[in-house]
């Protein structure tokens, strides 16, 4: 049983790598960003709250995203494991995830942190903005704000996971395959078949 957090700033490659890893290890890929964009597309109450916040590049309230994750865990009791992408993003979210997983007899096995410098993040997201249709990729100041919000509110989680020996740092520059291989090398040496605490 393995539960991974894929971590890093906007544009670090979390979604790209999560797709590859979920397939390789039969994990359920939970991207809070994707779930929120689906809620917006469906015009749900959550989507209505989230839209304006996402458009500014700010963070959606903790209780709302925690509820989305709780719902996904409830709906997948037989999952081999989960791959959390873009969650947690704040200390209360990290604590909530730990508590939720305890409830299911699970725990975070590792936090895989993709490291990419700001200029490269900006280049990737500005480029993606030409075709993604994502409102938060559409202008440079929103992209810069997302990176700033990451630095202020999300990067401190590195110390949260570091303290319990679960922080794994990965160079996020290279081809997609090279980075997948780096991630797999780390995952292969985790204690996959027992609960890690
Ligand atoms: P979210 O959807 O999580 O977006 P993000 O963190 O800003 O990151 P991205 O999805 O843009 O980047 P990524 O790291 O997944 O990289 P990707 O693989 O796409 O969140 C969006 C918003 O939702 C937040 O701002 C917030 O408002 C809200 N939200 C979500 N979760 C929340 C939470 N937990 N709490 C509160 N609010 C929340 O790659 C990026 C680009 O680079 C792509 O074009 C890709 O093709 C390219 N690329 C990937 N790998 C490489 C490579 N190796 N070399 C070159 N290019 C590459
Ligand atoms: Mg993503």
Give pLDDT tens digits for 16-53: 999 999 999 999 999 999 999 999 999 999 999 999 99
Please report the pLDDT score of residue 194 as a whole number. Answer: 46
Instruction: Evaluate: CB of 33 within 6 angstroms of ligand 1.
Output: yes
What φ, ψ does residue 195 adopt, rounded to 5°?
Answer: -70, 135
Q: Give yes or no: 134 in active site.
A: yes
Q: Give yes or no: 89 in active site.
A: yes
Instruction: Evaluate: CB of 179 within 6 angstroms of ligand 1.
Output: yes
Please report the pLDDT score of residue 196 as a whole number. Answer: 43
Q: Give yes or no: 140 in active site.
A: no
Active-site residue identified among 37, 80, 118, 134: 134
Q: Look at residue 197 and tell me whether its pLDDT is greater than 80.
A: no
What residues have their beta carbon closer than 5 A to ion ligand 2? Answer: 14-15
Domains with residue ranges and CATH for the chain:
2-116+154-195 (3.40.50.300)
pTM over 0.75: yes
User: Which ligand neighbours the alpha carbon of 36 most closely?
Assistant: 1
| Cβ-Cβ contacts under 8 Å for 67 (sequence gap 6 or more) | none
pLDDT tens-digit series, residues 160-173: 999 999 999 999 99
State how far the Cα of 172 lies from the Cα of 183, in Å rounded to an integer. Answer: 10
State how far the Cα of 176 lies from the Cα of 172, in Å rounded to an integer. Answer: 9
């Amino acid at each position: 049983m393995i539960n991974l957090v894929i971590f890093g700033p906007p544009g670090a490659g979390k979604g790209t790598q999560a797709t590859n890893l979920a397939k390789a290890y039969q994990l359920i890929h939970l991207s809070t960003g994707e779930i929120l964009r689906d809620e917006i597309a469906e015009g749900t109450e959550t989507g209505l709250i989230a839209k304006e916040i996402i458009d500014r590049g700010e963070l959606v309230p903790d209780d709302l995203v925690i509820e989305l994750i709780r719902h996904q865990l409830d709906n997948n009791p037989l999952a081999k494991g989960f791959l959390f992408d873009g969650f947690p993003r704040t200390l209360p979210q990290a604590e909530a995830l730990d508590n939720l997983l305890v409830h299911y007899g699970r725990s975070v096995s590792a936090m895989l942190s993709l490291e990419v410098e700001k200029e490269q993040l900006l280049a990737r997201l500005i480029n993606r903005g030409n075709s993604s249709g994502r409102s938060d990729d559409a202008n440079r100041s929103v992209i810069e704000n997302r990176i700033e919000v990451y630095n202020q509110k999300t990067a401190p989680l590195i110390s949260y996971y570091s303290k319990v020996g679960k922080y794994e740092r990965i160079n996020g520059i290279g081809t997609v395959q090279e980075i997948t291989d780096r991630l797999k090398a780390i995952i292969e040496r985790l204690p996959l078949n027992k609960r890690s605490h």
